[in-house]
Amino acid sequence: MLEDRIQKDYIAAMKSRDSLRSSTLSFLRAQIKNVLIEKKQDKLGDPDIITVIKKQVKQRQESVAQYEQGGRKDLADKEAAEMAVLKEYLPQEMSEQELKGLVAESIKAAQAVSMKDMGKVMKVMTEKVQGRADNKLVSELVKKALAQL
């Protein structure tokens, strides 16, 4: 299970005195604990943990952009390194080519005929992709495909 892997990697990072990795994983563990408390559960499943990790990655991406804009390369590099550690725990992302194929299938499945059907197509796509692709990219591909109908 993903939570166990994170725990083991955290312990290994602490033993090897890898401060970047241990602090990143410590913060991730705290966020997972917060979600556990919020959901009033004893254990989270992998999909919930992946959602927490994706949220953390997105926050790091935004921070990197802001730090670079503010001229703080040192902080941007630190955030980028933390983001790399977090991405190790995410499933392999789908290629754009794979996504295009799924978009075509989803349009057929949702019986979409115009841009008004984007919500239906996105619902089908979200189920098929299940966190293995950036939602922004999926949305753009769906828009392009529907615009060509």
DSSP codes joined into one string, 100-141? HHHHHHHHHHHT--SGGGHHHHHHHHHHHHTTSS-HHHHHHH
The domains found in the chain, sorted by start residue, are 2-87 (1.10.1510.10), 96-147 (1.10.10.410)
Q: What is the pLDDT of residue 135?
A: 80
In angstroms, rounded to a whole number, what is the distance separating the alpha carbons of residues 4 and 10? Answer: 10
Average pLDDT (27-36) is: 95
For 19-34, what is the mean pLDDT?
Answer: 96
pLDDT digits (tens, 9 = 90+) for 87-127: 999 888 888 888 888 898 888 888 888 889 889 989 988 88
Strand, helix or coil at 91?
Answer: coil
Q: Taking the complete model, does pTM exceed 0.85, yes or no?
A: no
